[in-house]
Structure formats: structure tokens, C-alpha cells
């Protein structure tokens, strides 16, 4: 029954532990068994630290909301002394940390039993997870010929396959929401700086990146956000304080909201018809729940935002490689990094400090434009933007491989990442909360995510709406059933 955590979320499993119906060791056994069964086909879990997990159980787990529940960290960020990391790159393979990050300390305090990491693309800059350091692509449990998404693609695959009931991720351009859409999960990106970044970073990608979680239920995300939210000492800025917390917010439906539904891209280009139908079906559901739904598109310069995002991430990638090489005391060698990373470094070399600051300024201007879309003083304002998460169903393996060195074409060219994922990064740039909900299915049985975004700081209202939708159209009974 528990081997695949079928139709159970982490909250259910924690309740079983609390009443003595199952032990943390038994859940860890089940999780490891499931990994051994399916990971050879998925390539989602790496750097297994079973001994660390057993010691944490034997030492006495914190009495947090998820005491005894198996958990995995993304192999990018979330630095932890007991969990070395490849960070998706041969250059950074087997990195050890001298201290725990603030986000990991809070995750640990929730009571989870962390036992390994999940795959990510090098630098976190892809919508697919196919890093060379892992020896092959990470595959989608719903169809092994398709990607599980990126950059938290290993986390998405591991949760969808039932290896763990939820997992850590991070999101700098959709990296939680893209795998959530691809794998039939719930993925929530909080408001900028809602979660801590320190002490290893002050901010990620000029404030566009933030940690998050891949879950099978809204309540699991809400409880983990409550366990982890808040600034750490020395943070350069912080999110507006929560009024009640995410768990309190989902205890009742939100007020009736004004929803702008966009069934194209934000620039008016068509999206895949099956994805479009999932968006329109969600619009009809929201209307049936009493929300006010009208078609529209946000008035903001999406293309300028994408160019600025691309420049900022190139500079961040180049800086990360430079720091790694400085720590090793050597120059870049063949095989250290993949093609897209080499292309990002080359592009960053064409940018001056003034160019970088200009890109940051464009991102800030875009954030103000997006804030105006939600302005209650504006007669055309809204409370929620409803769109697709991805413009098409999950991509085939290899489509977004990192072998090309044309970084700009990879991100912004025809058929590139931004054509495939034209929605998510907008809300990393604006800093607004956004979520992907598993509300659609393609004709060949692949999950299709629907995307909701709210005004800056309105995390509680957004997650309450997500919970209302989940109650009206439950998805937890849907899980990948790999054969063989």
C-alpha cells in the first residue's frame, strides 16, 4: 500500500506516523524500494544518503508538520552539510558544504526524512533536465519518451513516480511550475523573497529565483511554505508579511475574484489546442464557482522582459562558473560544462556592467507594468491572470538538450525555451506569486498544467483559490503507473 504512496499526500503520511500506524523507517524503506524499482528508467534521483537519513531518524526527528515523511532536495542550491551536490554540472560534481543553508534548516525542522537529491539541468537554465553529469536525460513517468521538465525535473519525476510524496525545487524562470505541469503535480512560486536565500546568496538572478516545492496537494505546499517562509538574517529585502499564513488561507475559499483569462501567449500567439482547451475549461470552472472571468492579456513588454532575463541569467551563469574555477585554481577545461553554458559565458562576455544594470532596470520596469495589470484603481484591473503553464504538451527527450552553444537561440529563438514556456518567467521577473495546477490531459495521456498568478504579496489569496479549485476538481487520485 505504501510502496508507491498511491493516492496519499505528505500530510496523510505524516498523520500515519503521528498515530503510530507506520514508522519513519518503514516509509524510508518504501521510498528507497520505489527508487530502486524505477530510478534506472527515470534517472531522477542521485547522491543517495541513506545512512544520513537513518541517523536522523535514530536521533529523533523534529516534531514538525511532516515528521517522518521521506523527502528529496534538488541537486542545485539548498546547500546542506550532509548532502553533497553536483549542481547539475561536471565542474561542480561532489561539492561539499561547510554549513547548512537557511532554507534547508527550515525544511529539516519540518520533520522530513531527507535521503538524497534530484536531478537538474546545468545552471538551472533549461526547461528539460538532461545534464551530462547524470549520464543521461531525466524522463517523464507518464511517458518515458518525454521530458519531466526543468529545472526541477528530477523532483517532478520523483514525486510523480511515487518515490517521495513531495520534494524541494526552485524556480527562476518556471523551474517549479514547468515540472509540475509536465508531471501532473502542483507547483507554487511564492512572492519574491518569501523564502530565505542565505547564507550562500543574497538573491538569485537579480531576485528572480526562489525555492519551492513539487507536491501532489495544495495543503502540502501550504504547510511547507508556512514552515519555511520568512527572511534570514542579513537578507537584502523581504516579502510583504503574511496576514494568516498559507494553511489558514486554504481553510476557506477566497473572496470572489476578477480573473483575466488568456488563451494565447501573452503576446497573442496561438498555443497548442489541447492546452488552450485546458485553460478554457478552467475558466468555465472558475465562472461556475462565482468568479468573474473575462478574456484579456497583460499590458507589459514581454519581449523586453525575455531579453533582460536572458542577459541576467547569462551573467549569473558566467559568475557561477568563474567562482567554481577560482575555487579549483584552474582554467575551464573540456568537459567541465555543457554547450549552453559555454554559450551563456560567451554572451555574458559581450555585456558590460552598465548592460547588466540596464537589464535589471528592464526587469524592474516590467514588474511595475505587471503590477498595474492588478491595480484595483484600474477599471481593467484583475485579481488573477489565468493562462497555460506551457504553450504545448511536455516536449520530447532531446529537444532542449544542452549541446548547442547558441545560448540566445536556445532561449529566445524560434522553437526555443521561451516559445515553449512563454508564461512562467514573466512572474519571476515581476516577483508575483504564481502556480501551476494539473487540470488538463493531452490526447496521448500527458499532463497539462494551467497557470494562475496574483498581485505581488497576495500568496494567501492565490493559494486559497488553488485549494478551492482542487476541492472542485480533485487531482490526487491521478498518478503515473509505470509498467514493467
Backbone angles phi, psi at 482, to 5 degrees: -65, 140
Q: How confident is the model at residue 1 (pLDDT cuts 50, 70, 90)?
A: very low
Does position 127 have pLDDT exceeding 60, yes or no?
yes
Residue 88's region, left for phi above 0, alpha for psi from -120 to 50, else beta, is left
31, 56, 74, 442: which is the annotated catalytic residue?
Answer: 74
31, 110, 151, 359: which is the annotated catalytic residue?
Answer: 151
Does position 362 have pLDDT exceeding 60, yes or no?
yes
Backbone angles phi, psi at 140, to 5 degrees: -85, 125
pLDDT digits (tens, 9 = 90+) for 89-115: 999 999 999 999 999 999 999 999 999
Mean pLDDT of 321-334: 97
101, 175, 217, 436: which is the annotated catalytic residue?
Answer: 175
What's the CATH number for 10-472?
3.90.1300.10
pLDDT digits (tens, 9 = 90+) for 367-392: 999 999 998 775 568 999 999 999 99
The average confidence (pLDDT) of the chain is: 96
State the residue for C-alpha cell 544594470: 357
Domain ranges in the chain? 10-472
Mean pLDDT of 69-75: 98
Q: How confident is the model at residue 420 (pLDDT cuts 50, 70, 90)?
A: very high
pLDDT at 4: 46
* Cα distance between residue 326 and residue 320, in whole Å: 10
pLDDT at 6: 63
pLDDT at 375: 87
Catalytic annotation present for 74 = yes
Residue 377's region, left for phi above 0, alpha for psi from -120 to 50, else beta, is alpha
C-alpha pair distances (Å), 365 with each of 18, 20, 304, 351: 49, 53, 10, 20
Neighbours of 108 (CB within 10 A): 20
pLDDT at 378: 59
Mean pLDDT of 279-289: 98
pLDDT at 248: 98
Mean pLDDT of 390-404: 98
Does position 2 have pLDDT exceeding 90, yes or no?
no
By CB neighbour count within 10 A (0-12 exposed, 13-18 middle, 19+ buried), where does 223 fall?
A: buried
Q: How confident is the model at residue 434 (pLDDT cuts 50, 70, 90)?
A: very high
pLDDT at 164: 97
Backbone angles phi, psi at 30, to 5 degrees: -60, -40
* Cα distance between residue 193 and residue 40, in whole Å: 36
pLDDT at 379: 54
Query: What DSSP string runs through 168-192?
Result: EEEESSSTTHHHHHHHT-EEEEPST
Mean pLDDT of 15-41: 96
Give the H/E segment covering residue 473.
none
C-alpha pair distances (Å), 306 with each of 5, 178, 425: 39, 17, 8
Sheet holding 186-189, edge to edge: 166-171, 210-215, 186-189, 434-441, 447-454, 384-388, 258-261, 292-295
Q: How confident is the model at residue 483 (pLDDT cuts 50, 70, 90)?
A: low
* Cα distance between residue 267 and residue 255, in whole Å: 29
pLDDT at 254: 98
Residue 232 DSSP class: P
Percent of the chain with pLDDT over 70: 98
pLDDT digits (tens, 9 = 90+) for 9-25: 999 999 999 999 999 99
Amino acid at each position: 500500500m505504501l510502496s508507491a504512496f498511491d493516492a496519499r499526500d505528505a500530510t496523510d503520511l505524516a498523520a500515519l506516523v503521528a498515530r503510530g500506524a507506520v514508522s519513519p523507517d518503514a516509509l524510508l524503506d518504501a521510498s528507497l524500494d520505489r527508487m530502486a524499482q524505477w530510478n534506472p528508467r527515470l534517472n531522477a534521483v542521485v547522491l543517495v544518503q541513506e545512512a544520513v537519513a537513518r541517523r536522523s531518524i535514530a536521533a529523533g526527528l523534529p516534531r514538525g508538520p511532516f515528521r517522518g515523511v521521506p523527502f528529496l532536495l534538488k541537486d542545485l542550491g539548498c546547500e546542506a552539510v550532509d548532502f553533497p551536490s553536483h549542481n547539475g554540472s561536471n565542474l561542480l560534481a561532489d561539492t561539499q558544504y561547510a554549513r547548512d543553508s537557511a532554507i534547508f534548516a527550515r525544511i529539516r525542522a519540518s520533520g522530513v526524512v531527507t535521503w538524497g537529491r534530484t536531478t537538474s539541468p546545468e545552471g538551472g537554465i533549461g526547461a528539460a533536465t538532461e545534464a551530462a553529469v547524470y549520464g543521461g536525460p531525466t524522463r517523464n513517468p507518464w511517458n518515458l519518451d518525454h521530458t519531466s521538465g526543468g529545472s526541477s525535473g528530477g523532483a517532478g519525476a520523483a514525486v510523480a513516480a511515487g518515490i517521495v510524496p513531495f520534494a524541494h525545487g526552485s524556480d527562476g524562470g518556471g523551474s517549479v511550475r514547468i515540472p509540475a505541469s509536465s508531471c501532473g503535480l502542483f507547483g507554487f512560486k511564492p512572492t519574491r523573497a518569501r523564502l530565505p536565500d542565505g547564507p550562500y546568496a543574497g538573491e538569485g538572478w537579480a531576485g528572480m529565483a526562489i525555492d519551492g516545492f513539487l507536491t501532489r496537494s495544495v495543503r502540502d505546499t501550504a504547510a511547507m511554505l508556512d514552515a519555511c517562509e520568512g527572511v534570514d538574517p542579513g537578507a537584502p529585502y523581504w516579502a510583504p508579511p503574511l496576514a494568516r499564513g498559507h494553511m489558514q488561507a486554504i481553510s476557506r475559499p477566497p473572496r470572489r475574484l476578477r480573473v483575466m483569462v488568456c488563451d494565447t501567449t501573452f503576446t497573442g500567439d496561438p498555443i497548442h489546442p489541447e492546452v488552450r482547451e485546458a485553460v478554457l475549461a478552467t475558466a468555465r470552472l472558475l465562472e461556475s464557482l462565482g468568479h468573474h472571468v473575462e478574456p484579456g492579456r497583460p499590458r507589459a513588454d514581454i519581449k523586453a522582459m525575455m531579453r533582460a532575463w536572458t542577459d541576467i541569467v547569462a551573467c549569473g551563469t558566467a559568475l557561477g562558473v568563474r567562482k567554481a574555477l577560482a575555487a579549483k585554481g584552474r582554467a575551464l577545461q573540456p568537459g567541465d560544462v555543457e554547450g549552453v553554458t559555454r554559450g551563456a559565458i560567451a554572451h555574458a562576455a559581450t555585456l558590460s556592467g552598465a548592460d547588466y544594470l540596464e537589464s535589471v532596470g528592464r526587469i524592474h520596469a516590467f514588474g511595475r507594468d505587471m503590477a498595474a495589470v492588478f491595480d484595483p484603481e484600474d477599471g481593467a484591473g484583475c485579481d488573477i491572470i489565468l493562462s497555460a503553464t506551457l504553450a504545448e504538451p511536455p516536449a520530447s527527450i532531446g529537444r532542449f538538450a544542452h549541446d548547442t552553444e547558441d545560448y540566445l537561440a536556445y532561449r529566445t529563438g524560434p522553437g526555443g525555451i521561451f516559445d515553449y514556456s512563454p508564461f512562467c518567467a514573466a512572474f519571476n521577473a515581476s516577483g508575483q506569486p504564481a502556480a501551476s495546477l494539473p487540470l488538463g490531459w493531452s490526447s496521448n495521456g500527458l499532463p497539462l498544467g494551467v497557470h494562475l498568478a496574483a498581485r505581488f504579496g497576495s500568496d494567501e489569496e492565490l493559494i486559497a483559490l488553488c485549494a478551492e479549485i482542487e476541492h472542485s476538481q480533485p487531482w490526487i487520485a491521478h498518478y503515473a503507473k509505470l509498467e514493467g
